[in-house]
Structure 1
Amino acid sequence: MRVPVPDVLEPVERLGRVHLVGIGGAGLSGIARIMLARGVEVSGSDGTDSPTLDALRALGARVEVGHDAAHLQHLEAGDTLVVSTAVNETNPEYAEAVRRGLRVLPRSAALASVMAGRRVLAVAGTHGKTTTTSLLTVALQAAGADPTYAIGGDLAATGVNAAVGSGEVFVAEADESDGAFLVYEPYAAIVTNVDADHLDQWGTPEAYAAAFDQFADGLDPEGFLVCCVDDAGAARLADRQEAAGRRVVRVTAADRSALGDTTLWAPGDHYVADALAALAAGEALGLPRADLLRGLAAYTGTRRRMERKGEAGGVRVYDSYAHHPTEIEGDLQSARLLAGEGRLVVAFQPHLVSRTRIFGAAMGRALGAADEVVVLDLYLAREEPDPAVTSRLVADAVPLPPGRVASATLASAAAELVARARPGDLVLTLGAGTVTRVGPEVLDLLADGPTDGPTDGPSGG
């Protein structure tokens, strides 16, 4: 559901009590953390309980599992309801807020409200936003800037996705999927890449690219734009913005020397580019390179971004959020380097009907860089199913022999992976949905002992 952004965006201090519908999600949970730290009375609800909800309760939030109009009884005129894009018009809490005339904000406006009064550095791009925002955050922390931050994933070192710092800088992941990044007016920004996605929202690749120009046009005239120009879309954006008089800093993974002898937490050209973008932004703020590099070297990753889940039976297990062909290519490059002499066994869960319809075949081709592939059923998320769009669009396009490609359900995926993995291999689970549950199941099965070979489940490709 698309909730309109109000013409006047109030700072968080003027929102009254705030109730967040979908408070357990990556975006709203971070906003809730910042609001709680700023002294706002926060409540919320989510469909299922989770460690995230427990953490918010520990910070003082009143959090309910399930959605019910009664959860808004404590709100009065002048208070605020915030909704995620996953919430629809039939949600009883949203309907009750509208009936009572409460202020209703989308996620983007709520984030803008907590940004008010800070010097915002926004990180945008089709891929790599979360990792780059995380790298920038830890680099600025090491340089003494102590930023407030809101990231679309939990930092491995702290276990949280947002916190209030004492400095003037606010580092924010700026999401283009629903146009949220157009609500912000940052001082400066990083754009990692501009690679067509979310065409259910934007319609065409051209409209998608134009949205990034609109985003960049909103930067402070005194600010700057960092672009990772290994990506053609970001390179074109850099050229257009520089021609318009914007201060533009270009970075490329080919300039690895700028990182000196810094060892990053994971290999891969796209992670090098992310680190270089964070370094460039920090230096553009006037912070010392040596301190920024110390932060980049100390970075230990972000949950669901090439996250090491563990090792059992001689098999290493990683999990990552990749759900677009370009992201799959990048993470398989990184995983191949991590695997060394071992094989790469990958489970991929396609995400969204619209994305799979457009990019399914390209996803399958990208998965061909693995040695063994298991394709899970399509994760529907916010869209209605389409009988013509299934995970077969992906599996049938994987350029590997049929015996090395299998289809599986979420429930059978772990057993399928374990049957294929051998000591020395690396198992990687990929996707933006529930596939993240599979890695721990793989480790549990591996700890119980070896299997005899692939299962008899359906295969294809």
Structure 2
Amino acid sequence: MNASERGKMASVSTSLLESQINCRPSRGHCVYFIGIGGIGMSAVARILIHEGCIVAGSDLRTSSLTSTLEEMGAKINTKQDGSFMSSETDMVVVSASISEDNLDLKTARKMGIKVVKYSQILGSLMKEKRGIAISGTHGKTTTSAMISTILKTAGLDPTFVIGGEVPDIGGNAHLGKGNLFVAEACEYDRSFLNLTPQVGVITNIEEDHLDYYGNIETIVHAFGDFASSISKEGLLVVNDNDNNIAAAVQKANCKVETYSLSNASDWYGEVLSGGSGLKRFRVLHNGKLFDEISLKIPGSHNVLNALAATAVCTFIGVDKDSIKNALSLFHGANRRFQIIGARNGITVIDDYAHHPTEIRVTLRAARELYPEKRIWCVFQPHQYSRTRHLLKEFSRSFQNANRVILADIYATRDNDYEKTAMNAMKLYEETRNTGMDIQYIPQLSDIVNVLYSGVRPGDIVMTMGAGDVWKVAYDLVSRF
């Protein structure tokens, strides 16, 4: 590379750095969100509204999130055809799922409006405070919600952006007056590398988002880069029983603390009771008793999430009584083992699980909570590519259910090849071959009809998926 080429490369690097630095809107700026109904996008939009920005945006689907934003003054449309893009717009924010052929995005670029990624603007917000970033294939939302709940209960008034609505603390976002910023850090598109946290968490690392990463080695490498992004004076809290994490943390330059349900870890959780599905456990820190904690939410995976939250908040300086009390009152995030209703002796639960591991641990928690009851699992696969890459794993994830109903695949970010290469019938056949009692019912409205006529008192109905399968849970409760 000659001097001229090196100069051009340096110029590009400098411009990219300046782009990250200059993506912070100020009071009075007009900010347009493409995909504003996304859980992370809506959270940042809420924060900017509170800061005095003028917020508008588009999303193909309306939801409670978009309704809340409209109540706060945001102008939202569902066309995404470029017609709503104002010449007064100062900045456009896009989620990772927005492609370059999106008409809103094309219009913004044609008009010369500055375009930034959601993760960039999230990173710019975090730089102004003491950042706490929670990453991992699973458990990010619950762990982020636990940490935010503890900090808020302790009177530290954190700012937070969470990938799920948490009713106990006012939703999925809050602009706090304190110096702490809690953010759920998504690994897709290496988005979490735009953050500059002082404290980080890695809950686990598994194969996911293979449409972007391709293989587990690339995923581990990205998490390694995330580990190296934690400031040297900070802390990285990691699951001790994950070989992929063990490889990733080799890049960390900060103090690392481990947690697990085995006593070799820095933070060790010893489950004392859980016959009812709800967990009481003893926490040991470096071999010494920290305290006993009880959780209202079921599952050993949530004990692990609570250990991570305890480690982070102890490092921040929260006393153990505040941690214990906050966790004992924690009711969880929406769409995380959320009981939608109980009618005629039938309990209907909704969960966001859309990865084989998430399905497996959630159904295991349900079986612990309801050992003698018949469990129906209504699963809507999320993405053709994820279903194709993890087909075998999905087929073996339903073992704690008595009956499974499979809906059509919810498409997002899928190209034509993926839609041709995979379909829900293939997952149905693979699952049926494992011996599961499974039905394939493509349409959600038909699923509600089948459930209404098939369930009986004492049954448990669980809807699972990252798409719109939650509608089945609400419609079924309404029918009852």
- Name the TM-score, length of structure 1 as normaliser: 0.90
C-alpha distance 130-401 of structure 1, shift in aligned 2 (>3 A): closer
Question: What residue is the counterpart of 1:437 in the other structure?
Answer: 471
Q: Is the 8 A contact 1:279 1:292 kept in 2?
A: yes
Question: What residue is the counterpart of 1:131 in the other structure?
Answer: 142
Letter in 1 for 2:467: G
SS of 1:23's partner is coil
For residues 135-194 of structure 1, what are the alpha-carbon distances to aligned partners after superposition, in whole Å with 9 as ceiling and x for unaligned? Answer: 110011122221100001100324521011111000000000221101111111011001
Question: What residue is the counterpart of 1:452 in the other structure?
Answer: none
Q: Does 1:296 align with 2:327?
A: yes
Letter in 2 for 1:293: K
Alignment of 1:8-27 (within 5 A): 8=18, 9=20, 10=22, 12-14=24-26, 16-27=29-40
Alignment of 1:347-426 (within 5 A): 347-384=378-415, 385-398=418-431, 404-409=437-442, 410-426=444-460
**Structure 2: any 5+ residue segments left out of the alignment?**
1-12, 263-268, 271-281, 284-289
Q: Distance in 1 between matches of 2:114 and 2:421?
A: 40
Q: Which of 211, 228, 246 is the equivalent residue of 2:254?
A: 246
Q: Which of 225, 241, 244 is the equivalent residue of 1:233?
A: 244
Question: What residue is the counterpart of 1:218 in the other structure?
Answer: 229
Q: Does 1:151 align with 2:162?
A: yes
Instruction: Using the TM superposition, give the Cα deviation of residue 37 of structure 1 relative to its aligned residue in structure 2, in angstroms.
Output: 1.1
Q: Is the 8 A contact 1:368 1:399 kept in 2?
A: no
Letter in 2 for 1:222: E
SS of 1:178's partner is helix
Question: What residue is the counterpart of 1:271 in the other structure?
Answer: 302
- Segments ≥4 residues shifted beyond 4 Å: 399-403
Q: Is the 8 A contact 1:11 1:116 kept in 2?
A: no
Q: Distance in 1 between matches of 2:399 and 2:452?
A: 19
Question: What residue is the counterpart of 1:457 in the other structure?
Answer: none
Instruction: Using the TM superposition, give the Cα deviation of residue 272 of structure 1 relative to its aligned residue in structure 2, in angstroms.
Output: 0.6
Question: What residue is the counterpart of 1:327 in the other structure?
Answer: 358
C-alpha distance 64-6 of structure 1, shift in aligned 2 (>3 A): farther
For residues 396-434 of structure 1, what are the alpha-carbon distances to aligned partners after superposition, in whole Å with 9 as ceiling and x for unaligned? Answer: 233688682111122211223334422112111111111
C-alpha distance 80-383 of structure 1, shift in aligned 2 (>3 A): same
Q: Does 1:178 align with 2:211?
A: no
Q: Is the 8 A contact 1:313 1:423 kept in 2?
A: yes
Residues 317-326 or 90-99, more deviating: 90-99
Q: Is the 8 A contact 2:127 2:196 kept in 1?
A: no
SS of 2:390's partner is helix
Q: Distance in 1 between matches of 2:36 and 2:419?
A: 29
Letter in 2 for 1:252: S
Letter in 2 for 1:183: N
SS of 1:109's partner is helix
Letter in 1 for 2:17: D
**Structure 1: any 5+ residue segments left out of the alignment?**
448-461
SS of 2:397's partner is helix
Q: Which of 9, 17, 28 is the equivalent residue of 1:7?
A: 17
Question: What residue is the counterpart of 2:205 in the other structure?
Answer: 194
Q: Distance in 1 between matches of 2:351 and 2:222?
A: 27
SS of 1:95's partner is helix
Residues 6-15 or 124-133, more deviating: 6-15
For residues 367-392 of structure 1, what are the alpha-carbon distances to aligned partners after superposition, in whole Å with 9 as ceiling and x for unaligned? Answer: 12211111111112221353341123
For residues 44-65 of structure 1, what are the alpha-carbon distances to aligned partners after superposition, in whole Å with 9 as ceiling and x for unaligned? Answer: 1222333222211222222223
Q: Does 1:31 align with 2:31?
A: no
Q: Is the 8 A contact 1:365 1:399 kept in 2?
A: no
Letter in 2 for 1:407: Y
Q: Is the 8 A contact 1:200 1:354 kept in 2?
A: yes
SS of 2:204's partner is coil
SS of 1:369's partner is coil
Instruction: Using the TM superposition, give the Cα deviation of residue 260 of structure 1 relative to its aligned residue in structure 2, in angstroms.
Output: 4.2
Letter in 2 for 1:65: T
Q: Distance in 1 between matches of 2:86 and 2:409?
A: 38
Q: Is the 8 A contact 1:374 1:416 kept in 2?
A: no
Residues 304-313 or 84-93, more deviating: 84-93
SS of 2:238's partner is strand
More strand by share: 2
Q: Which of 107, 110, 118 is the equivalent residue of 2:118?
A: 107
Instruction: Using the TM superposition, give the Cα deviation of residue 90 of structure 1 relative to its aligned residue in structure 2, in angstroms.
Output: 2.8
Question: What residue is the counterpart of 1:141 in the other structure?
Answer: 152
Instruction: Using the TM superposition, give the Cα deviation of residue 6 of structure 1 relative to its aligned residue in structure 2, in angstroms.
Output: 3.9
Q: Is the 8 A contact 1:127 1:327 kept in 2?
A: yes
Q: Is the 8 A contact 1:266 1:334 kept in 2?
A: no
Letter in 1 for 2:92: L
Q: Is the 8 A contact 2:23 2:116 kept in 1?
A: no
- More relative contact order, 1 or 2 (CA 8 Å, 6+ apart): 1
Instruction: Using the TM superposition, give the Cα deviation of residue 87 of structure 1 relative to its aligned residue in structure 2, in angstroms.
Output: 2.2
Q: Distance in 2 between matches of 1:245 and 1:66?
A: 46
Instruction: Using the TM superposition, give the Cα deviation of residue 114 of structure 1 relative to its aligned residue in structure 2, in angstroms.
Output: 2.1
Q: Distance in 2 between matches of 1:400 and 1:320?
A: 25
Letter in 2 for 1:195: E
Instruction: Using the TM superposition, give the Cα deviation of residue 122 of structure 1 relative to its aligned residue in structure 2, in angstroms.
Output: 0.1
Q: Distance in 1 between matches of 2:203 and 2:372?
A: 31
Tell me the matched-pair count.
Answer: 438
- Name the TM-score, length of structure 2 as normaliser: 0.87
